[in-house]
Amino acid sequence: MGYARIMGTGSYLPQRIVTNQELETRINTSDEWIVSRTGIEARHVAADDEVTSDLALAASRAAIENAGLTADDIDLIIVATTTGDMVFPSTACLLQRKLGITRGAAFDVQAVCTGFIYALSIADKFIASGQHKRALVVGAEVFSRILDWNDRRTCVLFGDGAGAVVLQAADEPGIYSSHLHSDGRLSDILKVEGGISGGQITGHPFLQMDGQAVYRTAVKALDEVAREALAHNSMTPEDVDWLVPHQANIRILQTTADKLGLARDKLVLTVARQGNTSAASVPLALDAAASEGRFARGDRLMLLGVGGGMTWGSVFLRW
């Protein structure tokens, strides 16, 4: 068995920015209420003519260039998304076409906000097995299209965007381990019930969330899955240089760092200006910190995700 290492990162955020002040003019909310409870100040919203694969394409091109490669070097594409362009083909296949890639495999992963963690874990296994050499792993979402913009409990939380990494075969460990979990008994606390049948939308087409239940689950799950990764690798929180969690809510993120005993300056945060971008949030945070030069080669990063299903997971890696 071989190893896999992240060789490049990229991201894309739609041009349109929706601030809390704009939302104040549309729904019964306030900037103070949103910031105090979530830490979110603004979020990006895709243009009417932008679809998930468009966002993924921009992030992917940036990641491939950052890795010093070309699209022809990629032989595996995995896209984590809840908001695919269409029922099928997969967003990954549509992205493959837009990149001009004609070899290898391409498929989507649906684990909502944990999607990128799941996708990165899968890509790691493919590369470690020797079956593939270079994987493009993408988290991309247009969550704005499954939100009820009159529901102040949910519409203030989410945004659109895409992040990508290029994972490559390596002689030394890049990814130490990944740990994935789910509990379908919690499927009702965060969901979109809508579907298509007979040419009609069935069920409720907008996001529904039990905020308190999600918060409790997230805080517990993130702490436990981080400790699971550390125990598996015979390490302690002191061995973590950076914590890169799903950007859901500032209180969840800070509580996770505090429970692990990590200084908050080790926490990568993008939630204030991006909101919760679901499967895109971890790779967006990765690229933001990498672009700022915050990671040094050899740093140990703990990536964490939690989302609908409920699903949760961690990836512990060396930069």
- Dihedral of the CA atoms 23, 29, 34, 36 (nearest 10)? 150
Residue type, 63: A
- Tokens for 248, please give them: 């859901």
Total residue length of the chain? 319
Which of 255, 256, 202, 249 shows the shortest CA–CA distance to 229? 256
Which of 48, 47, 119 shows the shortest CA–CA distance to 82? 119
Question: Any idea which residues carry the catalytic annotation?
Answer: 113, 246, 276
Residue type, 296: A
Task: Give CA–CA dist 189/167, Å, rounded.
Answer: 33
> What is the CB neighbour count within 10 angstroms for residue 32?
10
Give the gyration radius of the chain's Cα atoms: 18
